[in-house]
Amino acid sequence: MTTELFSPLLLSSGQVLSNRIAKAAMEENMAGDGQLPDEQLFTLYRRWARGGTGLMITGNVMVHAEALTGPAGVVLDEHAPLKPFTEWAKAGKSGGGSIWMQINHPGRQVASDMPGVVRGPADIGVDLGKHSSRFGRPTAMTAQQIEDTVTRFAVTAHRAEEAGFDGVEIHAAHGYLLSQFLSPLVNKRTDQWGGSLENRARMLLDVVQAVRAAVSPSFAVAVKLNSADFQRGGFDADDARQVIAMLEPLGVDLVELSGGSYESPAMTGRPADDRTRAREAYFLDLAKDLVKTSPLPLMLTGGITQRVTAERVLDSGVAVVGIGTALAVTPDLPDRWKQYREADRQMEPVTWSDKALASAAGMAKVRHQMRRLARGHTSKPGTHPAIALICEQRKQRKALRGYRTWLSKAQSTAGR
């Protein structure tokens, strides 16, 4: 029997998603003062909540104040005031759907001009050719730093539940810290966190167990996982299959499949293999294969903009359809699909020959749309990518000054 797009989904935690459409995480990089969510994010999420998604997953929320993916990243650690997060959860639930917080640590994917720390499983930096200097040089994490990071994920999850979120999604994809540990190209450790896939998955599994122990049984715990890294010798679909099996006994509700990293930015629609570039649902072929053996419900994200594609994804056995960019352009897309209408505008992919720059410009275009929605305007998907990139860089420079000041104060208060 075909799964209907607007049918509910019961998860193992007992939580019920009202339909099979999720707003996938898009990194907003829109934190206000003190690295906290403010009215901009509340307005944006109220806008999406009215649009009919069954589930919203926030963009990256950082578990460590000294390790951010960008200077305007939201931080929820033991010191953050809870009230702004309570407001954010309320905004996300205002349309009757569920909201989960995506929790993350960037590891080595920290810009070189950022204060704080750059750490990874090993001291191998991000290789972006001539753009490699954009990222800091990582140091290999000590056992204590790994344990502290596992604890940080659990603290953030616990506080997310206190704030009223319905669940968390642990980010182990796109080349961030947990993905780095999974990757044989980045993880060159020779201790208990390196070598075999079991060892490389150890940190992720420890994080999942710590998070599950820190929240109530009815609180959802999901994992975002690469179906593949799209790099020769990297984490592949067979690794993903084995990791999903390892997650199953740990109380995970859902695994979201994506792919790529900054080094091979498949998640922005520029995958390493040309076969998936020309169509929607970039990772559907891999998902179809993984769904055959997966003991957990799967969610698929990447390039889905039309109802017919979403239905094809569900027909493959995937339980939830994740939509990102299309919702930044058309926030009421699920409601339109319910009425058999489609979006009347689309965002064209950035097809510059410089892949790293094209990926950055593509993300800047998406953020430009989110900021428009947050100000109460309609989207403007025709914005030139160069203009979006310049605007983004200006905003990041301003945010970086604010983050430096805030972090310096936070460190002196903590007596570090």
pLDDT exceeding 70 applies to what percent of the chain?
A: 92
Would you say residue 399 lies in a domain? no
- Whether 272 has a pLDDT exceeding 90, the answer reads no
pLDDT tens digits, residue range 117-155? 999 999 998 887 887 888 999 999 999 999 999 999 999
Query: What values do phi and psi take at 181, rounded to 5?
Result: -65, -35
* Position with higher pLDDT, 119 vs 301: 119
Q: Is the dihedral of CA 103, 242, 24, 22 positive or negative?
A: negative
**Cβ atoms of residues 29 and 41 within 8 Å:** no
pLDDT tens digits along 368-391 = 999 999 999 999 999 999 999 999
d(CA 155, CA 380): 38
* CA 334/CA 6 separation, integer angstroms: 9
* Res 275: pLDDT: 45
pLDDT top residue among 133 and 178 = 178
Q: Is residue 391 part of a domain?
A: no
Predicted confidence (pLDDT) at residue 276 exceeds the cutoff of 80: no
**Mean pLDDT across the stretch 252-273?**
67
**More confidently predicted of 264 and 241:** 241
Higher pLDDT, 281 or 411: 411
| Encoded tokens for 386 | 């160069």
Contacts of 393 (CB under 8 A, 6+ apart): none
Mean pLDDT of 291-320: 94
Name the band, by pLDDT with cuts 50, 70 and 90, for residue 101: very high
Residue 84: phi and psi, rounded to 5, are -60, -30
CA dist list (Å): 247 to 176, 226, 415: 18, 14, 38
pTM, full prediction = 0.94
Confidence band (pLDDT; 50, 70, 90) for 406? very high
Token code pair at residue 6:
């607007």
Residue 277 has pLDDT above 50, yes or no: no
Give the model's pLDDT for residue 229: 65
- Stated as kind and residue range, the H or E segment containing 89 is helix 83-93
Domain count, the chain: 1
Residue 270 pLDDT more than 50? Answer: no
How sure is the predictor about 241, in pLDDT bands with cuts at 50, 70 and 90? very high
Mean per-residue pLDDT for 61-69? 97
**101 contact partners, CB below 8 Å, separation of at least 6:** 57, 58, 61, 76, 156, 157, 160, 165, 167, 168, 169
CA distance 169 to 101: 6
Instruction: Record the tokens describing residue 340, joined without a space.
Output: 């058999």
pLDDT band at 298 (very low <50, low <70, confident <90, very high): very high
pLDDT value of residue 280 = 64
8-28 per-position pLDDT tens digit: 999 999 999 999 999 999 999
pLDDT for 329? 96
Q: What pLDDT shows up at residue 384?
A: 95
DSSP secondary structure of 308-360: HHHHHHHHTT-SEEEE-HHHHH-TTHHHHHHTT---S--PPPP--S-HHHHHH
Average pLDDT of the segment spanning 288-316:
93
> For residue 275, what is the domain's CATH number?
3.20.20.70
Two tokens, residue 360: 């950055």
Name, in order, each residue with C-beta under 8 angstroms of 363's C-beta and a sequence gap of 6 or more.
27, 268, 392
Average pLDDT over residues 53-77: 97
Q: Quick: pLDDT tens for 341-365.
A: 999 999 988 999 988 889 889 999 9
Length of the chain in terms of residues written: 416
pLDDT at res. 415: 59
Q: Identify whether 107 is part of a domain.
A: yes
pLDDT higher at 100 or 268: 100
Phi first, then psi: what are they for 6, rounded to 5°?
A: -105, 25
408: in domain = no
Categorize the per-residue pLDDT at 263 as very low, low, confident or very high, splitting at 50, 70 and 90: low
Range of the domain at 317: 9-342
191-196 mean pLDDT: 97
pLDDT, position 274: 46
pLDDT of residue 262: 63
- Retrieve residue 57's tokens: 């997953």
Q: Rounded to 5 degrees, what are φ and ψ at 376?
A: 90, 10
Q: What is the pLDDT of residue 230?
A: 62
